[in-house]
Amino acid sequence: MAEYIDAEHARDVAALQAGLAARTEWPTWLLIAAVYGGWACTVWAVHRHALSLASATPLFVLLCTWHMSMQHELLHGHPTRLAWLNKLLGYPPLAIWFPYTLYRDTHLEHHRDEALTLPGLDPESNYVPAGRWQRWPAWRRALWQARKRFVGRMLVGPPMSAAAVLGAAWSALRTGNRRYAPMWIAHGASVVALLYVLDVWAGVPWWYYLLAVTWPALAIAAIRSLYEHRAAPEPKARIVINEAGFLMRLLFLNNNYHLVHHDLPALPWYCLPRAWRLRREAYAHKSGHFVIRGGYGELLRRFAWRATDAVVHPFEAANGVYDAPDIQDIQDIQDIEDIQDVEQESRIAA
Protein backbone atom coordinates (compact mmCIF):
# COMPACT_ATOMS: atom_id res chain seq x y z
CA MET A 1 0.00 0.00 0.00
CA ALA A 2 1.29 3.44 -0.94
CA GLU A 3 2.32 5.77 1.87
CA TYR A 4 2.63 9.49 1.18
CA ILE A 5 4.23 12.31 3.14
CA ASP A 6 1.03 14.38 2.96
CA ALA A 7 -2.01 14.99 0.76
CA GLU A 8 -0.12 17.33 -1.55
CA HIS A 9 2.59 14.72 -2.01
CA ALA A 10 -0.11 12.17 -2.92
CA ARG A 11 -1.40 14.53 -5.60
CA ASP A 12 2.10 15.12 -6.95
CA VAL A 13 2.78 11.38 -7.15
CA ALA A 14 -0.58 10.83 -8.85
CA ALA A 15 0.46 13.42 -11.43
CA LEU A 16 3.69 11.48 -12.03
CA GLN A 17 1.71 8.28 -12.54
CA ALA A 18 -0.59 10.06 -14.99
CA GLY A 19 2.30 11.17 -17.18
CA LEU A 20 3.10 9.64 -20.58
CA ALA A 21 6.08 7.65 -19.32
CA ALA A 22 4.16 5.98 -16.50
CA ARG A 23 1.08 5.33 -18.65
CA THR A 24 3.01 3.73 -21.50
CA GLU A 25 5.94 2.39 -19.43
CA TRP A 26 8.20 3.17 -22.38
CA PRO A 27 11.32 3.60 -20.18
CA THR A 28 10.92 0.06 -18.81
CA TRP A 29 10.25 -1.40 -22.25
CA LEU A 30 13.39 0.37 -23.47
CA LEU A 31 15.28 -1.00 -20.47
CA ILE A 32 14.18 -4.57 -21.27
CA ALA A 33 15.27 -4.16 -24.88
CA ALA A 34 18.62 -2.69 -23.80
CA VAL A 35 19.37 -5.50 -21.32
CA TYR A 36 18.47 -8.43 -23.54
CA GLY A 37 19.61 -6.73 -26.73
CA GLY A 38 22.93 -5.78 -25.17
CA TRP A 39 23.48 -9.28 -23.81
CA ALA A 40 22.56 -10.94 -27.13
CA CYS A 41 24.79 -8.55 -29.10
CA THR A 42 27.68 -9.28 -26.77
CA VAL A 43 27.20 -13.03 -27.21
CA TRP A 44 27.03 -12.57 -30.99
CA ALA A 45 30.16 -10.38 -30.99
CA VAL A 46 32.11 -13.06 -29.11
CA HIS A 47 30.81 -15.74 -31.49
CA ARG A 48 31.90 -13.68 -34.50
CA HIS A 49 35.26 -12.84 -32.86
CA ALA A 50 34.40 -9.16 -33.05
CA LEU A 51 35.06 -9.03 -29.30
CA SER A 52 37.55 -11.07 -27.33
CA LEU A 53 36.21 -12.89 -24.32
CA ALA A 54 38.28 -10.64 -22.06
CA SER A 55 36.80 -7.52 -23.66
CA ALA A 56 33.26 -8.90 -23.48
CA THR A 57 33.47 -9.90 -19.82
CA PRO A 58 32.91 -6.41 -18.30
CA LEU A 59 29.91 -5.95 -20.61
CA PHE A 60 28.47 -9.30 -19.54
CA VAL A 61 28.99 -8.41 -15.87
CA LEU A 62 27.27 -5.03 -16.10
CA LEU A 63 24.39 -6.41 -18.18
CA CYS A 64 23.81 -9.25 -15.70
CA THR A 65 23.82 -6.76 -12.82
CA TRP A 66 21.40 -4.55 -14.71
CA HIS A 67 19.23 -7.59 -15.44
CA MET A 68 18.88 -8.28 -11.71
CA SER A 69 17.79 -4.67 -11.18
CA MET A 70 15.32 -5.09 -14.04
CA GLN A 71 13.89 -8.24 -12.43
CA HIS A 72 13.24 -6.21 -9.29
CA GLU A 73 11.25 -3.72 -11.34
CA LEU A 74 9.25 -6.45 -13.07
CA LEU A 75 8.20 -8.21 -9.87
CA HIS A 76 6.74 -4.91 -8.64
CA GLY A 77 4.23 -4.87 -11.49
CA HIS A 78 6.03 -3.26 -14.42
CA PRO A 79 5.82 -2.79 -17.33
CA THR A 80 2.40 -4.51 -17.50
CA ARG A 81 -0.38 -5.35 -15.07
CA LEU A 82 -0.11 -9.02 -16.05
CA ALA A 83 2.03 -10.87 -13.51
CA TRP A 84 2.55 -13.81 -15.87
CA LEU A 85 3.86 -11.54 -18.63
CA ASN A 86 6.18 -9.67 -16.29
CA LYS A 87 7.44 -13.06 -15.08
CA LEU A 88 8.06 -14.17 -18.65
CA LEU A 89 9.99 -10.97 -19.35
CA GLY A 90 12.20 -11.48 -16.30
CA TYR A 91 12.55 -15.25 -16.40
CA PRO A 92 15.73 -15.77 -18.50
CA PRO A 93 18.43 -16.56 -15.90
CA LEU A 94 21.23 -14.34 -17.20
CA ALA A 95 22.77 -14.15 -13.72
CA ILE A 96 22.15 -17.91 -13.21
CA TRP A 97 21.83 -18.39 -9.46
CA PHE A 98 18.41 -17.13 -8.32
CA PRO A 99 15.11 -18.13 -9.94
CA TYR A 100 12.82 -15.22 -10.70
CA THR A 101 9.87 -16.85 -8.92
CA LEU A 102 11.78 -17.33 -5.68
CA TYR A 103 13.14 -13.80 -5.81
CA ARG A 104 9.64 -12.41 -6.43
CA ASP A 105 8.05 -14.30 -3.54
CA THR A 106 10.74 -13.51 -0.98
CA HIS A 107 11.15 -9.89 -2.00
CA LEU A 108 7.45 -9.09 -1.79
CA GLU A 109 7.47 -10.61 1.70
CA HIS A 110 10.41 -8.34 2.53
CA HIS A 111 8.13 -5.35 1.91
CA ARG A 112 6.35 -5.79 5.25
CA ASP A 113 8.04 -2.76 6.79
CA GLU A 114 7.07 -3.60 10.36
CA ALA A 115 9.19 -6.78 10.11
CA LEU A 116 12.19 -5.22 8.36
CA THR A 117 15.59 -6.53 9.52
CA LEU A 118 14.06 -9.09 11.92
CA PRO A 119 15.68 -12.50 11.37
CA GLY A 120 13.09 -15.13 10.57
CA LEU A 121 10.51 -12.56 9.47
CA ASP A 122 12.41 -10.47 6.96
CA PRO A 123 13.78 -12.85 4.29
CA GLU A 124 16.39 -10.24 3.32
CA SER A 125 17.67 -9.55 6.83
CA ASN A 126 21.41 -8.99 7.22
CA TYR A 127 21.26 -9.87 10.90
CA VAL A 128 21.27 -13.07 12.94
CA PRO A 129 19.78 -13.78 16.38
CA ALA A 130 22.15 -13.86 19.35
CA GLY A 131 21.42 -17.51 20.09
CA ARG A 132 22.32 -18.62 16.61
CA TRP A 133 25.47 -16.49 16.65
CA GLN A 134 26.61 -18.16 19.85
CA ARG A 135 26.14 -21.61 18.33
CA TRP A 136 28.12 -20.87 15.22
CA PRO A 137 31.78 -21.88 14.82
CA ALA A 138 34.44 -19.21 14.39
CA TRP A 139 34.70 -19.61 10.61
CA ARG A 140 31.01 -18.86 10.09
CA ARG A 141 31.18 -15.83 12.32
CA ALA A 142 34.15 -14.60 10.31
CA LEU A 143 32.22 -14.96 7.04
CA TRP A 144 29.26 -12.98 8.38
CA GLN A 145 31.53 -10.31 9.80
CA ALA A 146 33.24 -10.01 6.41
CA ARG A 147 29.82 -9.71 4.77
CA LYS A 148 29.20 -6.54 6.79
CA ARG A 149 32.15 -4.80 5.09
CA PHE A 150 32.20 -3.35 1.58
CA VAL A 151 35.17 -5.38 0.30
CA GLY A 152 34.23 -8.47 2.27
CA ARG A 153 30.64 -8.39 1.00
CA MET A 154 31.82 -8.34 -2.59
CA LEU A 155 34.15 -11.27 -1.97
CA VAL A 156 32.12 -13.62 0.23
CA GLY A 157 28.59 -12.36 -0.38
CA PRO A 158 27.96 -14.16 -3.71
CA PRO A 159 29.07 -17.65 -2.60
CA MET A 160 27.32 -17.28 0.75
CA SER A 161 24.03 -16.28 -0.88
CA ALA A 162 24.19 -18.95 -3.56
CA ALA A 163 25.09 -21.63 -1.03
CA ALA A 164 22.27 -20.57 1.29
CA VAL A 165 19.60 -20.62 -1.44
CA LEU A 166 20.76 -23.89 -2.98
CA GLY A 167 21.19 -25.46 0.45
CA ALA A 168 17.69 -24.39 1.47
CA ALA A 169 16.26 -25.87 -1.73
CA TRP A 170 18.01 -29.18 -1.05
CA SER A 171 16.85 -29.22 2.57
CA ALA A 172 13.25 -28.57 1.52
CA LEU A 173 13.39 -31.40 -1.02
CA ARG A 174 15.00 -33.76 1.49
CA THR A 175 12.26 -33.13 4.03
CA GLY A 176 9.45 -33.61 1.53
CA ASN A 177 8.58 -29.96 0.83
CA ARG A 178 8.20 -29.83 -2.96
CA ARG A 179 6.47 -26.47 -3.24
CA TYR A 180 9.28 -24.99 -5.31
CA ALA A 181 10.41 -28.21 -7.05
CA PRO A 182 8.76 -27.36 -10.42
CA MET A 183 10.35 -23.91 -10.26
CA TRP A 184 13.82 -25.37 -9.69
CA ILE A 185 13.37 -27.90 -12.50
CA ALA A 186 12.36 -25.18 -14.96
CA HIS A 187 15.12 -22.88 -13.73
CA GLY A 188 17.71 -25.64 -13.97
CA ALA A 189 16.68 -26.49 -17.52
CA SER A 190 16.89 -22.81 -18.49
CA VAL A 191 20.35 -22.48 -16.96
CA VAL A 192 21.61 -25.60 -18.76
CA ALA A 193 20.24 -24.33 -22.08
CA LEU A 194 21.80 -20.90 -21.60
CA LEU A 195 25.21 -22.28 -20.63
CA TYR A 196 25.09 -24.77 -23.52
CA VAL A 197 24.50 -22.01 -26.08
CA LEU A 198 27.25 -19.89 -24.56
CA ASP A 199 29.76 -22.74 -24.47
CA VAL A 200 29.02 -24.60 -27.70
CA TRP A 201 27.85 -21.80 -30.00
CA ALA A 202 29.44 -18.61 -28.69
CA GLY A 203 32.67 -20.05 -27.34
CA VAL A 204 32.18 -18.79 -23.79
CA PRO A 205 33.13 -21.68 -21.47
CA TRP A 206 30.31 -22.42 -19.03
CA TRP A 207 32.65 -22.38 -16.06
CA TYR A 208 34.07 -19.04 -17.16
CA TYR A 209 30.61 -17.50 -17.36
CA LEU A 210 29.80 -18.75 -13.87
CA LEU A 211 33.02 -17.55 -12.25
CA ALA A 212 34.06 -14.50 -14.28
CA VAL A 213 30.61 -13.10 -15.12
CA THR A 214 27.89 -14.11 -12.68
CA TRP A 215 30.07 -13.99 -9.56
CA PRO A 216 31.25 -10.38 -10.18
CA ALA A 217 27.68 -9.40 -11.15
CA LEU A 218 26.40 -10.71 -7.83
CA ALA A 219 29.24 -8.89 -6.08
CA ILE A 220 28.27 -5.56 -7.65
CA ALA A 221 24.60 -6.15 -6.83
CA ALA A 222 25.61 -6.84 -3.23
CA ILE A 223 26.96 -3.29 -2.92
CA ARG A 224 23.43 -1.88 -3.02
CA SER A 225 22.24 -4.03 -0.13
CA LEU A 226 25.34 -3.51 2.04
CA TYR A 227 23.71 -0.80 4.15
CA GLU A 228 20.23 -0.62 2.68
CA HIS A 229 18.58 -1.38 6.02
CA ARG A 230 19.58 -0.98 9.64
CA ALA A 231 18.09 -2.01 12.96
CA ALA A 232 16.04 0.87 14.41
CA PRO A 233 12.94 1.15 16.63
CA GLU A 234 10.85 2.87 13.95
CA PRO A 235 10.33 0.76 10.79
CA LYS A 236 10.81 3.70 8.41
CA ALA A 237 14.07 4.61 10.12
CA ARG A 238 15.38 1.21 9.03
CA ILE A 239 15.36 2.18 5.34
CA VAL A 240 18.10 4.19 3.68
CA ILE A 241 18.14 7.11 1.27
CA ASN A 242 21.39 6.80 -0.70
CA GLU A 243 22.13 9.88 -2.82
CA ALA A 244 24.11 7.96 -5.41
CA GLY A 245 25.56 9.34 -8.63
CA PHE A 246 23.92 8.96 -12.02
CA LEU A 247 25.69 5.78 -13.17
CA MET A 248 24.95 3.84 -9.99
CA ARG A 249 21.37 5.11 -9.98
CA LEU A 250 20.96 3.83 -13.53
CA LEU A 251 22.57 0.49 -12.72
CA PHE A 252 20.32 -0.03 -9.68
CA LEU A 253 17.29 1.67 -11.29
CA ASN A 254 17.02 4.30 -8.55
CA ASN A 255 16.53 1.71 -5.84
CA ASN A 256 19.06 3.72 -3.87
CA TYR A 257 16.07 5.93 -2.93
CA HIS A 258 15.04 2.94 -0.94
CA LEU A 259 12.66 4.56 1.53
CA VAL A 260 10.76 6.13 -1.35
CA HIS A 261 10.54 2.70 -2.98
CA HIS A 262 9.23 1.09 0.22
CA ASP A 263 6.65 3.84 0.66
CA LEU A 264 5.61 3.74 -2.99
CA PRO A 265 6.42 0.21 -4.19
CA ALA A 266 4.23 0.48 -7.30
CA LEU A 267 5.91 3.67 -8.49
CA PRO A 268 8.13 2.91 -11.52
CA TRP A 269 11.88 3.34 -11.25
CA TYR A 270 12.07 6.45 -13.43
CA CYS A 271 9.62 8.31 -11.15
CA LEU A 272 11.47 7.66 -7.89
CA PRO A 273 13.98 10.55 -8.15
CA ARG A 274 11.20 13.08 -8.75
CA ALA A 275 9.10 11.70 -5.87
CA TRP A 276 12.16 11.99 -3.63
CA ARG A 277 13.01 15.54 -4.71
CA LEU A 278 9.45 16.63 -4.03
CA ARG A 279 9.91 15.86 -0.32
CA ARG A 280 13.66 15.49 0.15
CA GLU A 281 13.87 16.84 3.69
CA ALA A 282 10.70 15.06 4.77
CA TYR A 283 12.11 11.73 3.64
CA ALA A 284 15.38 12.44 5.45
CA HIS A 285 13.42 13.10 8.64
CA LYS A 286 11.22 10.05 8.13
CA SER A 287 14.28 7.82 7.74
CA GLY A 288 15.70 9.05 11.03
CA HIS A 289 18.35 10.80 8.92
CA PHE A 290 19.56 7.46 7.61
CA VAL A 291 20.90 9.24 4.55
CA ILE A 292 24.12 8.45 2.67
CA ARG A 293 24.89 11.83 1.09
CA GLY A 294 28.03 10.66 -0.73
CA GLY A 295 26.46 7.65 -2.44
CA TYR A 296 28.21 4.32 -2.78
CA GLY A 297 31.60 6.03 -2.85
CA GLU A 298 30.96 7.16 0.71
CA LEU A 299 30.08 3.60 1.69
CA LEU A 300 33.38 2.43 0.21
CA ARG A 301 35.34 5.08 2.08
CA ARG A 302 33.62 4.45 5.40
CA PHE A 303 33.12 0.71 5.30
CA ALA A 304 35.74 -0.79 2.98
CA TRP A 305 37.31 -2.65 5.90
CA ARG A 306 35.03 -1.62 8.77
CA ALA A 307 31.67 -3.18 9.56
CA THR A 308 28.55 -1.12 8.89
CA ASP A 309 27.07 -2.40 12.17
CA ALA A 310 26.85 -5.55 14.27
CA VAL A 311 25.90 -8.93 12.85
CA VAL A 312 23.73 -9.81 15.86
CA HIS A 313 20.38 -8.05 15.81
CA PRO A 314 20.24 -5.53 18.70
CA PHE A 315 16.54 -6.04 19.50
CA GLU A 316 15.91 -8.49 22.31
CA ALA A 317 12.66 -9.65 20.70
CA ALA A 318 14.45 -10.45 17.45
CA ASN A 319 17.10 -12.43 19.28
CA GLY A 320 14.56 -14.51 21.17
CA VAL A 321 11.36 -15.08 19.27
CA TYR A 322 12.87 -15.42 15.83
CA ASP A 323 15.80 -17.68 16.60
CA ALA A 324 14.73 -20.58 14.39
CA PRO A 325 17.47 -22.84 13.00
CA ASP A 326 18.71 -21.84 9.57
CA ILE A 327 19.90 -24.13 6.81
CA GLN A 328 23.51 -24.21 7.98
CA ASP A 329 22.40 -25.06 11.51
CA ILE A 330 20.42 -27.97 10.07
CA GLN A 331 23.51 -29.23 8.32
CA ASP A 332 25.65 -28.79 11.44
CA ILE A 333 23.22 -30.46 13.85
CA GLN A 334 22.72 -33.97 12.51
CA ASP A 335 20.17 -35.18 15.05
CA ILE A 336 17.40 -32.67 14.17
CA GLU A 337 14.38 -34.76 13.24
CA ASP A 338 11.54 -32.28 13.07
CA ILE A 339 11.69 -28.92 11.28
CA GLN A 340 8.55 -26.89 11.74
CA ASP A 341 8.92 -24.60 8.76
CA VAL A 342 11.29 -25.65 6.03
CA GLU A 343 9.86 -23.01 3.73
CA GLN A 344 11.63 -20.47 5.92
CA GLU A 345 14.90 -21.81 4.60
CA SER A 346 13.98 -21.19 0.97
CA ARG A 347 13.74 -17.48 1.74
CA ILE A 348 17.39 -16.79 2.54
CA ALA A 349 18.18 -13.63 0.61
CA ALA A 350 21.07 -12.70 -1.61
This prediction's pTM = 0.90
Helical segments of the chain, H only? 7-17, 20-24, 26-47, 53-75, 83-90, 100-110, 130-135, 138-147, 150-174, 181-196, 206-208, 215-224, 246-251, 258-263, 272-278, 280-286, 295-303, 316-321, 327-332
User: Is 255's pLDDT higher than 90?
Assistant: yes
Is 14 domain-assigned? no
Strand partners, 292: 242
Residue 173, pLDDT score? 86
Residues 210/216/218/223 CA torsion (nearest 10 deg): 170
User: Is 320's pLDDT higher than 80?
Assistant: no
Average pLDDT over residues 125-131: 93
Residue 3, pLDDT score? 95
User: Is 336's pLDDT higher than 70?
Assistant: no
Total domains in the chain come to 1
Residue 318: band (very low, low, confident or very high) from pLDDT cuts 50, 70, 90: low
User: Is 341's pLDDT higher than 70?
Assistant: no
Is 337 domain-assigned? yes
Residue 332, pLDDT score? 38
pLDDT digits (tens, 9 = 90+) for 167-194: 988 888 888 888 889 999 999 999 999 9
User: Is 224's pLDDT higher than 50?
Assistant: yes
Instruction: Please compute, for residue 310, the number of CA atoms within 13 A of its CA located in the half-sphere on the CB side.
Output: 11
Is 7 domain-assigned? no
pLDDT digits (tens, 9 = 90+) for 88-115: 999 999 999 999 999 999 999 999 999 9
CA angle 288, 294, 298 (to 5 degrees): 100
Across the chain, what does the average pLDDT equal? 90
Parent domain of 148: 21-347
Is 10 domain-assigned? no
pLDDT digits (tens, 9 = 90+) for 43-91: 999 999 999 999 999 999 999 999 999 999 999 999 999 999 999 999 9
Rounded Cα gap, residues 292 and 241, in angstroms? 6
Q: What whole-number percentage of the chain has pLDDT above 70?
A: 90
The residue type found at 253 is: L
Residue 319: band (very low, low, confident or very high) from pLDDT cuts 50, 70, 90: low
Is 8 domain-assigned? no
Rounded Cα gap, residues 106 and 119, in angstroms? 13
Is 255 domain-assigned? yes
Is 279 domain-assigned? yes
Of 16-30, 124-138, 161-175, which range is least confident?
Answer: 161-175
First to last CA, the chain: 25
Residue 177, pLDDT score? 87
Residue 151, pLDDT score? 98
Is 4 domain-assigned? no
Rounded Cα gap, residues 254 and 302, in angstroms? 22
